Amino acid sequence: MANLKELRNRIASVSSTMQITSAMKMVSAAKLKRSQDAIVQMRPYAQKLTALMGNISATLDASENPYAQERPTQRVLLISLTANRGLCGAFNSSVIKRTRSVADAYEAQGAKVSVFTVGKKSRDLLKKTMNVVGEELEVVNQVNFEGAQRVAEVAMVGYVAGAYDKVVLVYNQFKNAAVQILQEEQLLPILPALAGQGQASDYIYEPNKVQLLEELIPTSIKSQVFKALLDSQASEHGARMTSMHKATDNATSMRDGLKLQYNKARQAAITNEILEIVGGAEALSG
């Protein structure tokens, strides 16, 4: 009977866990829908603005665009975007591994690498082995442009001041609920338009070229960070939904197996009791 009690406790425990993972899956699915809509709407705008900045950068000199100055890569800032929570499969670990591999590649070239972490997971794990110079946690809970602006300004101020020669974003780009694509994206300096994408356009600036670019270029950089945060948020919810779906399926299979095992043990116990009763009755009658 002790074995039956143990099995009942295990079935109850697995069933309770299954209810939790199922609820987390549904919550992540609801959050994913909002995040997916946000990134789908933001991505074309950010991509077009980034392409526009690349074309404009090709027509400007260093004094007009301080964010496009090419310098020897001696100091690199990596911005690592992860989540504040786990239970989302390889979402966090893949970004952390890529951050370390990118850092190793730059250090092999003689550069000094610093890391700015977005999310508790990257902060907690990377600060043990890397030079973490700052963190931003709240923006992960509620992605908005103000939070993206805080992250972008760390990179922009450091780059213009000469503290960093290159700034790179490492994050998960959202493809669908089951697939996230690791991205290593250069934020600064602004990359000029590629030769294969056509020649830089001769833009007409109104009302004033300097005044317009002073507003437009920083806005483009902040929008690029905002897009990366939205991508990361949607990827997190998709990864957690998929992970919790698999966990629920595994818990269901485990519960069914335990129930089968419990029924077999209970049937064996009942059979033994019947045999004991029949044996006792035969002994009395004899």
Tell me the pLDDT tens digit for each residue of 126-177.
Answer: 998 899 999 999 999 889 999 999 999 999 999 999 999 999 999 999 988 8
pLDDT on residue 53: 75
In a domain, 204, yes or no: yes
| pLDDT of 54 strictly over 90 | no
Q: What mean pLDDT is reported for the chain?
A: 86
In a domain, 132, yes or no: yes
pLDDT on residue 181: 92
In a domain, 17, yes or no: no
Cβ-based neighbour number of residue 37 at 10 Å: 11
In a domain, 8, yes or no: no
Cβ-based neighbour number of residue 59 at 10 Å: 14
How many whole angstroms from its chain centre is CA 256? 33
**What's the whole-model pTM score?**
0.84
Q: Residue 241: CA atoms inside 13 Å, Cβ hemisphere, count?
A: 20
pLDDT on residue 280: 77
Q: Any idea which residue has 């966990």 for tokens?
A: 247
Task: For residue 124, give both structure tokens.
Answer: 């907690």
Lowest mean pLDDT among 104-118, 200-214, 215-229, 264-278: 200-214
In a domain, 6, yes or no: no
In a domain, 256, yes or no: no
Lowest mean pLDDT among 48-52, 158-162, 177-181: 48-52
pLDDT on residue 196: 44
Its domain, for residue 92, covers 22-242
| pLDDT of 60 strictly over 70 | no
Count up the domains in the chain and report the number: 1
In a domain, 167, yes or no: yes
The predicted-structure confidence for 181-219, as pLDDT tens digits, reads as follows 999 999 988 877 654 454 555 667 776 766 777 778 888
Radius of gyration of the chain (CA): 28
pLDDT on residue 75: 94
In a domain, 262, yes or no: no
| Domain CATH code at residue 64 | 3.40.1380.10
pLDDT on residue 206: 72
10 within 8 A of 268, measured Cβ to Cβ: no
